[in-house]
A and B are shown apart, each in its own frame.
Chain A
Amino acid sequence: MSKAWKVLCLGAITALAALGLVACGDSDSSGGSSSGGGDVNVTMTSFPDYIDPQLSYTLEGWEVLWNTYVPLLTYKHEAGEDGTQVVPGLAEDMPEISADGKTYKLTLRSGMKYSDGTPIKASDFTYAIERLFDVQSGGSVFYEGIVGASDYVAGKADTISGITTDDKTGEITIQLEDANGTFTDLLGLMFAAPVPPSTPKDKNATNDPPPSSGPFEITSVDAPHTLVMERNPQFKTVQDAGANEVADAQVDKITVTQNKSNSAQVTGVEQNNIDFMVDPPDADRLPEVQARFSDRFRLEESINTYYFWMNTQEPPFDDLKVRQAVNYAIDPEALNRVFGGRLAPTQQILPPGMPGYEQYTLYPGPDLDKAKQLLAEADPSDKDITVWTDDEPDRKRIGAYYQDVLNQMGFNASLKIIAGDVYFTTIGNASTPDLDTGFSDWIQDFPHPDDFFRPLLNGENNLPTNSNNFSHVDIPELDKKQDELVQKQITDEGVTDDYAALDKAYMEQAVWAPYGNEQFTTFMSDRLDFGQAYSHLLFSQDYSAFALSN
């Protein structure tokens, strides 16, 4: 046998062996095609973090799970501010709250079943909250104020003593260590959705999600590629029990597929191969979509704030005039261009849609001259500053813009870009050097103003690690005001006005330089009824509103 012949033979053997690897495995298609009828296909750039109500803590996850797992309370299926209203879900009514605000009494509706036919019991709520701690969910911190939760976590108790239930009557009583005006909102999050005891208590259930109580059930998951939601055959038992605020499904099946290419998703929706894309079209495709598909594209409000934090404990941003100067210099319109027109300008902490939001402008601008004048008056000794941002394309551009503005003001700003996944833990670690100023954003966990003030601005949350108070704000009188307000219910008289005043008080101290509220998008194929679809302020697109167009 000649050399060349041997070479070719061995090459062929190698290729055949490799082809064998192809044939012996299998992988799902990412095409996400629908088979007509009541089927809808949805794409998202990032697959939900978990298909598990106690664990999921991303918008993608909540969008899927909202119509799958129903908590005792839920949020109204309405667009706009109406959607922030907490209403009864699996509970018969809103909670009966004791005068001291520490005891919540609810009653579970009777006769309801999970999608596998298992009866829904009051004790399933206890199981869900305990599970939240056992799986070390990021959402468990919200429920640490329940009496006995800390003992349960420490292994000193087998159950959470502050939750008592009666499976016969459906009564559920929850005792809190301190009054907490946000607790009604917390009961409406999926973290607190009852699941049956067949759900593994200390394990992520993504690959085999628990049976559902909502209009859809998850019938298949191939994480992180695709999942299928189908009508819950037992949802009628929930409806018959009187859960009128839990909307029913209008399509039979929704296939959700991860697609890493935003551009391919846009093209897919344009060509009606994809029915709905969760993420907004990238800025380079947005103008084309807005111009050509205005009959099936619109911008949607969302509750979030984009801002620049400034380290109020260190020069130069320990000087109020310097922080005010930055607020005067920022041009929200310039930043809006980075978002392709999806940024509504703002100069305050609470976003529109959040209770307590009242529009005001303290630093009209952009006014670079005024900014320079204030900076000259402050005359900071340290003008060498570091601007922090992460490596996502839009955020790099935001950081570059901010650096440029600061340099125009007279600073010597250098830009520090780090990986998105470690960005917030890095700037939230007080030992990180040169934490002067930088990019941040905050998307609500639930529509209560305390969710903005406490983690982001309360002096007690000025932590050495994993802090969200990036500006290192520590204003005791405003912390005290927060503590007073959180004891009250948001519906109590004057509470929303007080939160509006708190917002203004912080901005008078210019603790941040807020510049915008990002808008989400609805972009759908011709197959779907565009008029009926809407984006919910908390859970984004409401899949129960998906319907095929006539």
Chain B
Amino acid sequence: MGRFIAKRLVGMVGVLFAISVIVFLIFNVIPNSDPAARIAGKNADAELIARVNDDLGLNDPLPVQYVTLMKEIFTGQLTSYSSDLNVDEQIREGIPATMSLCIGAAIIWMAFAIVFGYLSAVRAGGKLDTMLTVLALIGISLPVFWLAAILLYYLSFRVQLFPTGGYVPLTEDPAQWAYHLLLPWITLAVLFIGFYSRLLRSSMLDVMNEDYVRTARAKGLSERQVRTRHVLRNSLIPIVTLFGLDFGAVVGGGAILTETVFNINGVGLYAGEAIGSLDLPPLMAVTMFGAFFIVLFNTIVDILYAYLDPRIRLGSSAV
């Protein structure tokens, strides 16, 4: 098991390295994205631009620039080209808001997806199943930015039931924290509720036909016990796998739109601004941050699987 985890962690570092190189190269081949010219202002002359270039080390060879950039990321010295602010600090400040948004949304989407998926599966073909299927499809089809705008317009602007955005730290006022995040949580969760409930329905219908379910029934267990203890639990395994990946992706950048529309000063909003201004240092750091979470949760799922099913970790030596 230890070897398996070690292999996975080495792979994780390799993936992060590859991502950092690709992002760095893409940025450097974009035409006319000369940060020095932008920093020097609209009236800058060639001398000023040259001095800014020198100061930023942009005249160095690309490998040197890459190494310097990575060193600055890992030593917390990286500063934004456009605002001159420390990037690591900005990301650190944004993590609580992003994690608050993502965890809350994840709890909502998992809870509703399990209830809807379960009901849909046990009433497969019935009216309730049809209704939940339609709801799920609507949820999957609603673009986040549209749903966010509609919720804000009706619930914040018209009815004035919710604030128009912003974020209150959990440590400052837990009630306001939840109040400000309720609409963003719903917005972010709706898509996943639809998707996960469909997946759970399908998984449960497959498991219901398994031999061990028939055996459970033959042992005399009630239908409710069979569904919850045997069918639901076993159907959750693919859901948890997917959840690990999706949660990593949402933390690592999937919340950009939600954070932007609701003005939540999280990592997603910071990433959106960095993309908009083609500001390499935050772009690189945020990409690494996102990639780290995606790869981390992917690795956790792999390890979890290996823990649950020894055939996976023994797979290579068994061949």
Contacts and interface: CB of A to CB of B under 8 A. Distances in A.
A259 B167 contact: no
A6 B307 contact: yes
Given A136-B40, A425-B38, A26 B169 contact: yes
B167 A30 contact: yes
Contacts of A32: 166
B43 interface: yes
Given A136-B52, A141-B44, A142-B43, A22 B103 contact: yes
B211 interface: no
A140 interface: yes
Contact of A420 (B43, B168, B269, B276): B276
A7 B265 contact: no
Interface in B247-280: 260-266, 269, 273, 276-278
B70 to A, nearest CB: 23
Contact of A259 (B37, B97, B263, B297): B263
Contacts of A426: 31-32
B170 A136 contact: no
B55 interface: yes
A7 B156 CA distance: 39
Contact of B94 (A27, A136, A137, A267): A27
B41 to A, nearest CB: 2
Contacts of A463: 46
A131 to B, nearest CB: 14
A425 B37 CA distance: 7
A261 B236 contact: no
B96 A138 contact: no
Interface in B42-93: 42-49, 51-52, 55, 82-85, 90, 92-93
Interface centre among B42, B82, B262 (most CB of A within 10 A): B42
Given A27-B169, A267-B157, A421 B278 contact: yes
B168 A23 contact: no
Contact-residue bracket for chain B: 35 or more
Contacts of B269: 260
Contacts of B83: 47, 49-50, 206, 223-224
B95 A432 contact: no
Contacts of B156: 264, 267
Given A7-B240, A27-B167, A466-B49, A422 B33 contact: yes
B103 A18 contact: yes
Interface centre among A10, A142, A144 (most CB of B within 10 A): A10
A260 B271 CA distance: 13
B164 A27 contact: no
A57 interface: yes
Given A261-B165, A271-B160, A11 B240 contact: yes
A286 to B, nearest CB: 15
Nearest to A426: B32
B301 to A, nearest CB: 10
A422 B40 CA distance: 13
Contacts of A169: none
Contacts, number: 198
Interface of A: 2-8, 10-11, 14-15, 18-19, 21-32, 47, 49-50, 57, 136-142, 144, 153, 204, 206-207, 223-225, 258-261, 263-264, 267-268, 270-271, 273, 419-422, 424-426, 429, 432, 445, 455, 463, 465-466, 468
A138 B40 contact: yes
B13 interface: no
B163 A31 contact: yes
B257 to A, nearest CB: 11
B99 interface: yes
A105 B102 CA distance: 61
A153 B55 CA distance: 13
B166 A30 contact: yes
Contacts of B166: 29-32, 259
Nearest to B85: A223
Contacts of B277: 421
Contacts of B30: 422
Given A11-B243, A153-B47, A422-B30, 16 more contacts: A14-B244, A21-B99, A22-B96, A22-B103, A27-B167, A27-B266, A28-B265, A31-B168, A57-B42, A141-B41, A141-B48, A261-B263, A263-B152, A273-B164, A426-B31, A466-B37
A8 B52 CA distance: 54
B41 A138 contact: yes
B316 to A, nearest CB: 22
Contact of B170 (A10, A22, A153, A259): A22
28 contacts: A4-B234, A10-B300, A14-B297, A21-B96, A22-B96, A22-B100, A22-B103, A26-B96, A28-B169, A28-B265, A29-B167, A29-B168, A29-B172, A47-B83, A50-B84, A136-B55, A138-B40, A206-B85, A223-B83, A261-B261, A261-B263, A263-B153, A264-B164, A270-B157, A425-B32, A425-B37, A465-B37, A468-B42
Given A142-B43, A261-B261, A30 B93 contact: no
B99 A466 contact: no
Given A4-B236, A30-B265, A204 B43 contact: no
Contacts of A28: 169, 265
Contacts of A207: 85
B9 to A, nearest CB: 17
B222 interface: no
Contact of B45 (A11, A21, A141, A424): A141
A307 to B, nearest CB: 15
Nearest to B303: A10
A455 B43 contact: yes
Closest 5 pairs (CB-CB, A-B): A138-B41, A4-B233, A25-B96, A264-B164, A30-B166
Nearest to A25: B96
A269 B85 CA distance: 30
B39 interface: yes
B237 interface: yes
A264 B40 CA distance: 33
B41 A26 contact: no
Contact of B34 (A4, A29, A425): A425
A14 B300 contact: yes
B304 A138 contact: no
A27 B93 contact: yes
B234 A3 contact: yes
B265 A15 contact: no
A273 B157 CA distance: 12
B175 interface: no
Given A421-B278, A425-B34, A268 B169 contact: no
Contacts of A468: 42-43
Contacts of B100: 22
A259 B165 contact: yes
B308 interface: yes
Contacts of B317: none
B299 to A, nearest CB: 12
B48 A7 contact: no
Nearest to A428: B37
B209 interface: no
Contacts of B93: 25-27
Contacts of A27: 93-94, 96-97, 167, 169, 265-266
A468 B260 CA distance: 32
